[in-house]
A and B are shown apart, each in its own frame.
Chain A
Amino acid sequence: MSDIPKLNELEEDLLKELFNLGVGKAAASLSTIVTQEILLSVPKVEFTKSSAMVDLLNNNTSIISISQSIHGPFDAKSILLFPEHGGMEVVRQMLGSQLSDEAIADLHEEALSEIGNIVLNACIGAISKSMNTVFDVEIPKFNQASPEELLKVSNLLDSDTILLININMKLKDSDIEGYLAFVFSSESLKKLQGSLTQLIDSLS
């Protein structure tokens, strides 16, 4: 696992701060559109391998993912992941519980795509702004697959390095756990570290 980068404390704090900024903005946007308080927090940021991420999600039957690829100073694929139950619960809580299960099932793809778009845009935006750069961002793609199929449908390799960010979403009646994953090729990873170093330098 030598190719998993070891971040120093400063770098890790910075990354965590960036994502906190991003999800904070996302929470504000989401709260506005559904006129109820939604709290998002980022308890943990870590580098891991995509296979390890699959292991982490393995006890779920189905995983919902919304992904947007970004291209620019570094390339990455940003993915918001929810276990199916959690994803449905997010939609139910945001749309109001008077909807039938059938209606939730009908709407969940569109709703989660939009929610994912908001969360991912906020995080990418936070990175862009702090690094003072602009990425080309693709429109979100929705996928639903078993943990084993997850890598295949998302075009990921076992060996890809993932910046895995735990996201905790608090809606009025529920506490839903999801993940934000930024997937890097080894080349992109070096560029990210370069960008981080640069940013730290500019701040100090």
Chain B
Amino acid sequence: MDSNALTIECYWNLVNNINSGIIVLNSEKKILHWNQWIQDHSQFSLNTYKDQLLSDVFPDLKNSRIIAAIDDALELGLPSLISNIFSRTPFALYNSGNFNIDQSNNNRIQQTVNISRIKVEGEKPYCLIQINDVTASTVREQNLEQQVKERKEIESSLLKIETRQRAIMQSMIDALIIFDSNGFIDAFNPAAEKLFGYSENDMMGDNIAFLIEEFSGVKELRESIELMFELGIIGKTKECEARKRNGSHFPVDISISEIELGDEKFFSAVIRDITDRKQIDKIKKDFIATVSHELRTPLTSIRGSLGLLCGGLIADVPKKALDLIQIANNNCERLIYLINDILDIEKAASGQMSFEFRQFDLKTLVKQSIANNESYATQYNVNYQLIEMAKDLTVEVDEHRFQQIMSNLLSNAAKFSIAENSVEIIINFQNDFAEIDVKDYGQGIPDKFKENIWNKFTQADTSTTREKGGTGLGLAISKTLIEAMHGNISFTSKEGEGSTFQLRLPVAKNKTT
């Protein structure tokens, strides 16, 4: 015997130690041998099952591919690979830990089976069945497959969202810039490219402060964003100065909103070039200022002349002619008021109105205004009644402008009162503010008109303009003026019962306790 050849015993030892199942069948498909692995995974002892038909030991193999493959091997010498793909668990084999728990198909180990013929000279062929446990790699593959599937689903939905958002961004007419909380630009749409003259690639990762003057000079945009929050810029539209690639500056309307993406905060800025609008505004203002001024000069001399004629100081004017001159004089007055109002509005809008603040006793001021307007109220058969709820209030105002506001409120109240009624003027003190209520018992303000009341050229009904006179600018001017004097104006009104307009002014020195 060759001393290098392994002994039969050594072979069996080897087979027993292999980490896969080995079954040897004789040509009649009866079990000749199996190794320890088979015993471990089936808990069948070889001694009990030796010489039995394989399909009797593993009954669910009957009519299976395994038996067909064994036939092929024994009869035709054909080897078969039976992977885990088409038949997962042909043999009733389990992990050693699973025997007492659940012997269902689900708990079997996943197998690949190789079946081949062993030819021994002079003997009938044997069949070798080799079984490998591939449970671990199968589970891994399935998990991977699951993960891949989930990832793909997420990717495809993200892609859809992104495509849609990109399409929106690309097609927007306004410039859109998305930046993070440090101001670094994350997206820059074609309209922005056109507006600023930079391409998206140029701007990616650059800071928005580079484009918007307002944001530069602040080291951390975070601070600047906080500031924007405080100033109420976030969510609102604000005018800013922007800078183009060629260095030129231009005015823009910018509205910033916050976008939260997971933990990260982003901001989107929609930017619109308002150069044209500014230009038109300026032309309009210049036009109004010029026209009003040019109109007022000749009107002043017309009024002077008519005044003299009306007073009868120049000559005796026949009664019929005097009536006509009176009409001309009244309408001349109205025209002057209108022009003055328009000039005031334009001055206020352009910030050219100057104020001369001084401290006054409020009661004295209000008494003065009542006196100024008394004769006007008499025309409407209305009288003013001062009610003093708080005493000795001092306010800091421009006297002339304050009287302008009071005149407006008092004349409105008289004008819209029902004859024989009073207009109450109530002075009060509330939360560090002096309050002046002007309360009439007139027709009230219709609900649908309330929200437009501060707009220019508005009266509830255009017909009342003719009936009651006035330019429709008074309240708009009053609001601008009182706000410039650090106060505010508000109203309450009920149709058919009357209206109350309230002025609130900070008290300079409050002697009441």
For B72, list chain A residues within 8 Å (CB).
Answer: 121, 125
Are A106 and B141 touching (Cβ within 8 A)? yes
B141-161 at interface with A (beta carbon < 8 Å) = 141, 144-145, 148-149, 152
- Chain A residues near B75 (CB, 8 Å)? 134
- Find the B residue at minimum CB distance from A114: B83
Q: Does A136 contact B (CB under 8 A)?
A: yes
- Residue among B75, B83, B114, B141 facing the most chain A CB atoms (10 A cut-off): B83
Selected contact of B86 from candidates A34, A125, A137, CB within 8 Å = A34
Whether, in the assembled complex, B369 has its beta carbon less than 8 Å from a beta carbon of chain A, the answer is no
B87 is an interface residue with CB less than 8 A from chain A: yes
Digitize B430-470: 1 where CB-to-A-CB distance is under 8 Å, 0 elsewhere: 00000000000000000000000000000000000000000
Residue pair A129, B76 in contact (C-beta under 8 Å):
yes
Minimum Cβ distance to chain B for residue A118 (Å): 8
Residue pair B81, A117 in contact (C-beta under 8 Å): yes
Whether B83 pairs with A113 at a CB distance below 8 angstroms is yes
Residues A114 and B86 in contact in the complex (CB < 8 Å), given A106-B141, A134-B77: yes
A199 adjacent to chain B (CB < 8 Å): no
- In the complex, are the beta carbons of B149 and A100 less than 8 A apart? yes
> How far apart are the CA atoms of A139 and B77 in the complex, in Å?
11
B124 to chain A, nearest CB (A): 12
Q: How far is the CA of A99 from the CA of B76 in the complex (A)?
A: 36
The majority secondary structure among interface residues of chain A is helix
CB-based contact A33/B87 at 8 Å: yes
> A138 at the A/B interface (Cβ < 8 Å)?
yes
Q: Are A139 and B148 in contact (CB under 8 A)?
A: no
Judge whether A124 is part of the interface by a CB distance below 8 angstroms.
yes
With CB as the reference atom, state the residue of chain A lying closest to B152. A100
Docked Cα-Cα span, A29 to B71, in Å, equals: 14
- Determine if A134 and B76 form an interchain contact, defined as CB atoms under 8 angstroms apart: yes
A139–B116 alpha-carbon span in the complex (Å): 8
B148 to chain A: which residues have CB within 8 Å? 100, 102-103
Q: Would B76 and A117 count as touching, CB distance under 8 A?
A: no
Distance, CA A99 to CA B145, complexed state (A): 8
Q: Produce 1/0 per residue, A84-120, CB < 8 A to B.
A: 0000000000110001101100110011011001100
Structural contact, B79 and A138, CB atoms closer than 8 A: yes
Asked if B80 is an interface residue, CB under 8 A from chain A, the answer is: yes
From residue B73, how far is it (CB to closest CB) to chain A in Å?
9
A135 close to chain B: CB less than 8 A: yes
Is B78 interfacial (CB-CB < 8 Å)?
yes
Contact with A along B77-114 (1 / 0, CB 8 A): 11111111111000000000000000000000000001
B119 at interface, CB cutoff 8 A: yes
Q: A128 on the interface (CB 8 Å rule)? A: yes
**A128 near B145: Cβ-Cβ < 8 Å:** no
Which B residues from 105 to 138 make CB contacts under 8 A with A? 114, 116, 119
CB of A147 closer than 8 Å to a CB of B = no
- Within 8 Å CB of B116, what residues of A? 139
A-B contact pairs, 12 of them (CB 8 A): A29-B65, A68-B79, A95-B85, A103-B141, A107-B85, A110-B85, A111-B86, A114-B81, A117-B80, A137-B77, A137-B78, A137-B79
List 8 tightest A-B contacts by C-beta distance, closest first.
A33-B86, A121-B78, A139-B79, A114-B83, A110-B83, A103-B145, A134-B77, A128-B76
A103-B148, A110-B83, A125-B72 given. 8 additional CB < 8 A pairs?
A102-B145, A103-B141, A107-B85, A111-B86, A114-B85, A125-B76, A134-B75, A137-B77
